[in-house]
């Protein structure tokens, strides 16, 4: 899987799954641009990757503001002349019961998890159409299939991501643009690592493969779906969850 000369854009690329995805694509010789929520986090991620010998660039537009996104994408096009792969990974989770969830909290989740995917895709697609090629990959979740006991906004947003994925796959197929999503299960991110051991052990026991997933497991799924090895795959929600089927 050689991504030499491929331009890859990863939102939510400063930590966790996003940062590991940036790292993996760099290791496969892609030109990677990461997006983060703040200048500070973008700079810190770039410094970390550069200390590993990887070259990346970064931006921090407000993904909820289409004009900011559109301006940033134009800057990237002016510099790199194309975008081959867009990975919509930025997102936030929720775990409150519905009666404890404010309308603002629900809207905030939908704004980042859904509207940002729409804004990024809308801004990038015209250039991919001109290229007559491209790949858009979205981060979904296992809860987009099974729901979750609380935090209704998060699965609702990921159900929407699945709908965007399947619909754009059909809309963009005539332009040779593939659209897929990866639905991670329980992954060893900062949030999971901070849980006490008595909470983590039951999680592991619920996973048939007997372990919590690593960010690189998701990054490798993105890598495969972005590669020519997946050239006949579009409109798929790929579950990467160790068979943790609820």
User: pLDDT tens digits for 154-170?
Assistant: 999 999 999 999 999 99
For residues 92, 93, 98, 99, the Cα torsion angle rounded to the nearest 10 degrees is: -70
How many alpha carbons lie under 13 Å from residue 114 in its C-beta half-sphere?
19
Q: Is residue 2 assigned to a domain?
A: no
Contact 219, 20 (CB under 8 A): yes
pTM for the model stands at 0.96
What is the average pLDDT score of the chain?
95
Q: Which two tokens stand for residue 129?
A: 């159409």
The CATH number covering residue 153 comes to 3.40.50.720
Q: Which of 216, 192, 106, 221 is nearest to 154 (CA)?
A: 106
Q: Is residue 245 assigned to a domain?
A: no
Instruction: Give the per-residue pLDDT at 192.
Output: 74
- Which residues are designated catalytic? 154
Contact 29, 4 (CB under 8 A): yes
Q: Is residue 155 assigned to a domain?
A: yes
How confident is the model over 218-229, as a mean pLDDT?
98
Q: Is residue 246 assigned to a domain?
A: no
User: What domain count does the chain have?
Assistant: 1
Instruction: Give the per-residue pLDDT at 189.
Output: 86
Q: Is residue 65 assigned to a domain?
A: yes
Quick: pLDDT tens for 198-209.
767 888 888 999
Q: Is residue 1 assigned to a domain?
A: no
The range of the structural domain enclosing residue 186 comes to: 7-240
Q: Is residue 170 assigned to a domain?
A: yes
Q: Is residue 109 assigned to a domain?
A: yes
Instruction: Give the per-residue pLDDT at 193.
Output: 76
């Amino acid at each position: 899987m050689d991504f030499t000369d491929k331009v890859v854009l990863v939102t939510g690329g400063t930590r966790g799954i996003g940062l590991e995805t940036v790292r993996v694509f760099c290791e496969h010789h892609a030109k990677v641009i990461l997006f983060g929520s703040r200048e500070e986090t973008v700079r810190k991620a770039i410094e970390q990757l550069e200390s590993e010998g990887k070259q990346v660039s970064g931006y921090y537009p407000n993904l909820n503001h289409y004009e900011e996104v559109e301006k940033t994408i134009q800057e990237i096009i002016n510099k790199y002349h194309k975008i081959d792969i867009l990975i919509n990974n930025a997102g936030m989770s929720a775990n409150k019961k519905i009666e404890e969830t404010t309308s603002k909290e629900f809207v905030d989740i939908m704004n980042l998890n859904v509207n940002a995917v729409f804004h990024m895709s809308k801004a990038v697609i015209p250039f991919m159409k001109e290229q007559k090629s491209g790949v858009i990959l979205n981060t979904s979740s296992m809860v987009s299939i099974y729901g979750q006991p609380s935090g209704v906004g998060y699965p609702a947003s990921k159900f929407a991501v699945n709908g965007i994925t399947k619909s754009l796959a059909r809309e963009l197929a005539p332009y040779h643009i593939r659209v897929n999503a990866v639905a991670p299960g329980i992954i060893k991110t900062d949030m999971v690592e901070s849980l006490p051991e008595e909470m983590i052990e039951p999680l592991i026991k619920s996973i048939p493969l007997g372990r919590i997933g690593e960010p690189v497991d998701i990054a490798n799924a993105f890598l495969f779906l972005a590669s020519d090895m997946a050239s006949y795959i579009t409109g798929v929600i790929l579950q990467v969850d160790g068979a943790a089927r609820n």
